[in-house]
Amino acid sequence: MTYDDLNKYIIHGGRPLMGEVTISGAKNAAVAIIPAALLVDGVCRIENIPQISDVTLLFSILEELGARVRVLNRHTVEIDSRHVHSTQPSFELVRRIRASYYLLGALLGRFGKATVAMPGGCNFGVRPIDQHVKGFRAMGAEVTEGNLVQAVAKGGRLTGAAVYLDMVSVGATMNIMMAAALAEGTTTIENAAKEPHIVDLANFLNAMGAEIMGAGTDVIKIRGVKELHGGTYSVIPDQIEAGTYMAAVMATGGSVLVRNVIPKHLECITAKLIEMGAQVEEMDDAVRVSRTGPLRRINIKTLPYPGFPTDMQPQLAAALCLAEGTSIITEGVWDNRYRYVEELRRMGAKIQVDGKVAIIEGVSELTGAKVRSCDLRAGAAMVIAGLAAKGVTEVEEIAYIERGYDNIVEKLQGLGADIRRVTVSEEDAVPMAR
């Protein structure tokens, strides 16, 4: 164990969640839009930014490259990229965040070159960037791969091209879009990903003067422009954060009004919650989720949007541990997303994993235990299990959770949960027995 995470959550479970919670801006959109600000020869004002560690890291990276970052309030920032003087962010910062690969597309698009270390972040299987590289090469970049990825546009500027993605990749779709925004000519991305945060990035770039059509469909066209100008943009609400609080209501019972959401983005999640026995009421920018009766078993297969999101799989698995009957989850996106199962078993869950399939046999109750976060969404699943469990749960390695959830402890406390964040002294921070 390292001692860089000496904080943990202590949860006294067994309380239904009641009240209302306001959802923050989308992590997956913000971590692409902030690097995309490097494409803009001017000042961008970005609103509804989540206050999470991944965002703070990206601000540090941009400042190091020469951008000026002014935090105006908790959720609004101004980024001035007119004075960027480097196209090689520091290895130390980049390796701490998965989304750092978006710096490649943004820097390559604006300056015709970029050198970026391979990203870090959560580990749930192989994260190749071969589709990103394929796109850059199609647009005339020479790319060398190793611990550092180096990309240089021949002649100093990329050229529009047709790019067919061999597999649907959110990261590659966004990266190629950024690189193509200032390219010479038109770029077409076929078999593009359709997630809401892709549409959000396209809308941001268009607000700054880009010409991007078709985002949200499987064919995106980007007509390159000479430059992007400044402007103001507000990030969409976080689909996965909203889904996480909804899953928590399923696990604990109760009734919660989830505010600042786009209900359409949540349909793939709400459909499954209704199958599980939830009552869901949709409003213009809010949903109310309630559960009073027993939890019913369901089957889930994760798929690219508009399918059920892989980023919601662990949270729902935590709730299904308490459902009547046997649920089956098939992971259709990542290779290694069941590392949290061992932690749930510590709490009394009955789960068997075979490759990409998890079979969950519902139990009448979970019992509090010492558990750890293996990654961002697995950490959220531990919190949900702790909220529903009998007794006390300690969740360790919470830095993963705080990479993607803005103010999670305060938001849960506002719903009546008994959860607090404590700092552990180094003497007490002994690795858990495995």
SS3 55: helix
Q: What angle do CA 404, 407, 408 make, to 5 degrees?
A: 75
Do the strands 286-291 and 279-282 form a parallel or antiparallel pair, or are they unpaired? antiparallel
- Residue 99: which residues within 8 A CB-CB, separation 6 or more? 31, 32, 35, 54, 58, 119, 121
Which of 44, 122, 268, 374 is an active site residue? 122
| Beta-ladder partners of 393 | 11
Q: How far apart are CA 89 and CA 100, in angstroms?
A: 9
Q: Which residues fall within 8 angstroms of residue 362, CB to CB, at 6 or more apart?
A: 295, 297, 320, 321, 322, 323, 324, 325, 326, 327, 350
Provide the token pair at 41.
Answer: 């020869």
- In the residue annotation, 122 being an active-site residue is answered as yes
What span, in angstroms and rounded, lies between the C-alpha atoms of 413 and 15? 11
CA dihedral 375, 277, 412, 45 (to 10 degrees): 70
Residue 137 CB partners (closer than 8 Å, separation 6+)? 143
249: helix, strand or coil: helix
Helix (H) or strand (E) holding 409: helix 408-413
Containing H/E element for 280?
Answer: strand 279-282
Residues with Cβ within 8 Å of residue 94, at least 6 apart in sequence: 61, 100, 103, 116, 117, 119, 120
Q: Any bridge partners for residue 299, and if so which?
A: 328
CA distance 205 to 199: 10
The answer to whether the Cα torsion of 385, 386, 387, 390 is positive or negative is positive
Q: What DSSP state is assigned to residue 155? A: G
DSSP 13: -
Residues marked active site are found at 122
